[in-house]
Every structure is written in structure tokens, then in C-alpha cells.
Amino acid sequence: MKDFSQKIKLFYVGLTKKESVYKRRGIKPTRDWLVILTTNLVLFCILGVFGFYFYTQINKDKLFITEKANAIEVVRINTGLLKKTVEDIHSREEQTTSIKNNGTVLADPSI
């Protein structure tokens, strides 16, 4: 049993890092933060360059190529439907103003 526990301890000691690793490089939060911030700055700059490139290419119509219509289509308006819509809007406006001026008569729910 003691042999087995000794083997487990030796195995665990072999897996864990030695103190010499920390002494050699050392834990330096300032350096670590500098690396993190520099990496983020470089990534943001690269993303900015890509964004600017895509913006200029889209603005020049080179990235997304679309076919342009050769002829201008004539839009026909249904005048009867337009007049009916305008009359409906005016009637709703009149109803709204009459409700605002006269008020509404609410039904008595107890009846």
C-alpha cells in the first residue's frame, strides 16, 4: 500500500511544474498585459484595414456586381385606388377630430 501511495506522489510531482520554471521566466503581470493589449491593438488595426478595403470596394461597385436595368420601367398608378385611400385617410382624420372634440360615450358594464 505504501508503494502505491509513493508511486502516486511521484506521478503527481512529475506532472506539476517545478518552481524553477517560475523563477526562470517569472510571473510579470505588466509584460502579460502589454502582450494582451498589443495583440488586441494589432487585431483591431487589421480589422480596420479589412473594413476600409471592403467599404471602398463596395462603394466602387467592384465587390458586389449587379446587373443594371437598361430601360426605365414606367410605374402606373391606379387612380381609383389612390382616391379611395385618400378618402379613407380623410374620413379617419374626421373621426379622430370628432372623438377628440366630443369625447366618447362608454357603455356601462354593469348593465
The full set of domain ranges for the chain reads 14-65
Kindly list the distances between the CA atom of residue 81 and the CA atoms of 73, 77, 78, 92, 94, in Å, as whole numbers in the listed order. Answer: 21, 8, 5, 17, 20
Helix (H, G, I), strand (E, B) or coil at 107: coil
Of 40, 39, 63, nearest in space to 51 by CA? 63
Q: Could you report the per-residue pLDDT of 54-68, keeping only the tens digit for each?
A: 999 988 888 777 777
- Mean pLDDT, the chain, whole residue set: 84
Higher pLDDT, 69 or 97: 97
Q: Could you report the per-residue pLDDT of 24-74, keeping only the tens digit for each?
A: 667 778 888 999 999 999 999 999 999 999 999 988 888 777 777 666 778
The terminus-to-terminus CA distance of the chain in angstroms comes to: 91
